[in-house]
Chain A
Amino acid sequence: MSDARDPRSPIGAEDEGVVAASAAVMGAEPVLLSTGARSQWLDVWDQFKTHKGALIGAAIFLAIVAVVALGPLVWDPELGIKSNIRARNEGMSLAHPFGTDQLGRDIFARMMAGGRVSLAVGLTAMFLSVVIGTLIGVLAGYFRALDGALMRFTDLFLALPLLPLLLVMVLLFREPLTAVFGVETGIFLLIVSAIGITSWMQTARIVRGEVLALKEREFVLAARSIGTPSRRVITRHVLPNVLSPIMVSATLGIATAIITESALSFLGLGFPPDFPTWGRLLNDGVPYLEQYPERVFWPGIAISLVVLSINYVGDGLRDALDPRIRGR
């Protein structure tokens, strides 16, 4: 299994026939946008609220994001950079809530710095993959002429062995990009785009399926019959209606991206050693596992908790956005 990937939405089996079949089922109830976009979102929220796991997950995720983003305001980030030889390998204390590492750097500060990178990678890579996926999905679904070519292109990407390619890509473009943008930005861009480019295919397929079905619906036909230009139809009528599958795959995309980044760091191909990310911190902590188990636990738990909470949120969103389940 490619451990770093999460082939959770295995729609790979679908060919044209399949997508059409399932899409017909999915579109059973029309989502009437014009009458109440707001009330629709209220409905979604009501449904989401009833999913306890999702609610707790969202709370935990937001809490972690808050600590990581706002933490530096109250906790000096310099502590995680500056070494302090006299205070190395310390246990948990008030001065260092998570202890210190082998150079006396504060692990709490490093965890926050690492979290910022890991989360930023997750969010940006997800954004990139969703944008590419949606673009290709909408174009393929809406314009018949483009469909064949774009879907073959998607199939091509699906056929690429992704984790090995990701490894090769990282190895490859690491030096040129670092040379242009500096170590931090360079590798950040590299990892984000590598993950983004290799993970958009599922979104594209799902979106295409939805668009294919939507295109034949009365309100879209109506809009087109009064001469609305395609661009308008897409932005006003199609996109809002495919938002729900996009949102679900976006949440799951964050989780996948975070795991992929830490896997790369774990294999020694992600960010360099002096640059903390959760995967990197975990990797660095492994040799000390028996002496200072907390060095592995903190990043390990942070990654797992974030991914777990995002998965629950995704689950809740899927239920809430699916009109068939709503109100059950």
Chain B
Amino acid sequence: MLTFTFRRLIFAIPTLLFIALVIFLLLELAPGDPMANVPLTVPPEVKEQMRQALGLGEPAPIRFWKWIVQFFWIEPLNIFDHLFGTGFAEGKLRIISWQNRAPVFIVIAERIPQTLWVVGTAYVVAILIAIPVGIYSAYRQYSIFDQAGTFVTMIGFSVPPFFSGVLVIVIFAVQLRWFPSIYDTTHVVDDWDAFVFQLRQMFLPVMVLALQITSQLSRFMRASMLDNLGQDYVRTARAKGLRERSVVMIHVLRNSMIPVVTVIALGIPQVFGGAIITEQVFKVNGIGQLLITAIQANDLPMVQTLTFIFAVLIVLFNLIADVLYGILDPRIRYE
């Protein structure tokens, strides 16, 4: 197990470096210009000077190397400094966003809470709903509950969030005025009323997202339960006179949860990645919205860093999922 984890970790390094290179090259080929959004009243010579000030004049390999050094050495140093009040990173140039000439990590740190609040809550809510629904649907396969559940989850799959999101805004925020239509990121929860307001402004995006995630998870839970319910050990358990409740809730559930837990782990990077469309629709200025604006503004350092962080998270959680699978399921042996 340990050697397996270690081997995978070692392998992750070249993978990640390769991904960084792929992302960099893709962005390098992009025909966009970070100065495109500057008004036409700013003359071209000035724009050229601004481009030089961003470091665009340097050749691509040097910029890539600089980025690698900044990402893997200077930024961790900065985090260390921040935590322990040391000064190792002083005077070293951090990864600078082209939009605002500020270090990208400061901006990312600002955005993470919003995304975690909204997307994270949606994820938790979805897990809490999906597991019981999946269990019951499988246990009563083809019952009315199962049919209805299937239909609802199918709707959850099929209605894209840019449709459902817009719909719930118009119904609940504009017509009924129950919830705000724009998410206030500066809101501070310091008393009960503030907490209620936070719940209200989170309600719509969480609802839309949770519907989607619930659909995926409950389908998976149901399939996994069905697989196990047909197994011989279930028949044996029933035959030896165990109560139905303990057969299903202990024996079957435990075994069915193994793949579901790994699926949940695999979904976590996406919680950090933010729900790009949902954030856009509900004006939750989180990581997803940050990425979209950076792409639109041709802010290459920001896009590069964000996509790379996503890649790191995906690789990491893939590994965690594999290890979890190995721990939870003794039948699996990683040599």
> Which positions in A face B, CB cutoff 8 Å?
1-4, 6-8, 10, 12-13, 15, 17-18, 21, 53, 152, 155-156, 158-161, 163-165, 167-169, 171-173, 175-176, 255, 259, 262-263, 266-267, 279, 282-283, 286, 289-290, 296, 300, 303-305, 307-308, 311-312, 315, 324
Contacts and interface: CB of A to CB of B under 8 A. Distances in A.
B236 interface: no
Nearest to A161: B310
Contact of A21 (B157, B263, B273, B331): B331
B299 to A, nearest CB: 12
Contacts of A13: 259, 262-263, 265-266, 318, 321-322, 325
A308 B266 contact: no
A36 B303 CA distance: 55
* Interface hub of A15, A161, A165, A282 (most chain B Cβ within 10 A): A161
B292 interface: yes
Contact of A172 (B31, B161, B216): B31
Scoring B277, B280, B333 by chain A CB atoms within 10 A of each residue's CB, the highest score goes to B277
Contacts of B318: 12-13, 155, 158-159
B314 to A, nearest CB: 5
B322 A168 contact: no
19 contacts: A1-B123, A1-B267, A6-B216, A7-B216, A7-B266, A12-B321, A13-B262, A15-B334, A17-B334, A17-B335, A156-B15, A160-B311, A160-B314, A164-B303, A282-B163, A283-B162, A289-B170, A296-B166, A311-B154
Interface in B298-335: 303, 306-307, 310-311, 314-315, 318, 321-322, 325-326, 331-335
Contact of B266 (A12, A175, A263): A12
A1 B157 contact: no
A317 to B, nearest CB: 14
Given A7-B267, A18-B332, A267 B292 contact: yes
Contact of A17 (B119, B303, B332): B332
B150 interface: yes
Contacts of B122: 1
Interface residues of B, number: 72
A277 B163 CA distance: 15
Nearest to A266: B162
Label chain B's interface by main secondary structure.
helix
Interface of B: 11, 15-16, 18-19, 22-23, 26-27, 29-32, 119, 122-123, 150-151, 154-155, 157-163, 166-167, 170, 174, 209, 212-213, 216, 219-220, 230, 259, 262-263, 265-267, 270-271, 273, 275-278, 280, 291-292, 295, 303, 306-307, 310-311, 314-315, 318, 321-322, 325-326, 331-335
Contacts of B326: 17
B26 A172 contact: yes
Contact of A171 (B22, B32, B276): B32
B13 to A, nearest CB: 12
A170 to B, nearest CB: 10
B334 to A, nearest CB: 6
The interface centre, meaning the residue of A10, A165, A263, A308 with most chain B CB atoms within 10 A of its CB, is A10
B277 A3 contact: yes
**Which 3 A-B pairs rank lowest in CB-CB distance, beginning with the nearest?**
A161-B310, A13-B262, A308-B158
Given A7-B267, A311-B154, A1 B174 contact: no
A8 B216 contact: yes
A267 B150 CA distance: 30
A267 B310 CA distance: 20
A282 B161 CA distance: 12
Contact of A10 (B30, B174, B263, B314): B263
Given A8-B219, A161-B307, A303-B163, A311 B157 contact: yes
Contacts, number: 179
Contact of B15 (A155, A171, A315): A155
Contacts of A3: 160-162, 212, 275-278
B181 to A, nearest CB: 12
A296 B334 CA distance: 51
Contacts of B23: 165, 168
B157 A307 contact: yes
Contacts of B15: 152, 155-156, 159
Given A8-B216, A164-B306, 5 more contacts: A3-B212, A164-B291, A267-B277, A304-B163, A308-B157
Contact of A18 (B154, B157, B292, B325): B325
A262 B160 contact: yes
A166 to B, nearest CB: 10
A2 B220 contact: no
A168 B334 contact: no
B159 A168 contact: no
Contacts of B307: 161, 164-165, 168
B95 to A, nearest CB: 17
Given A10-B263, A164-B306, A2 B276 contact: yes
A304 B212 CA distance: 13
A1 B213 contact: yes
Contacts of B119: 1
Contacts of A8: 157, 216, 219
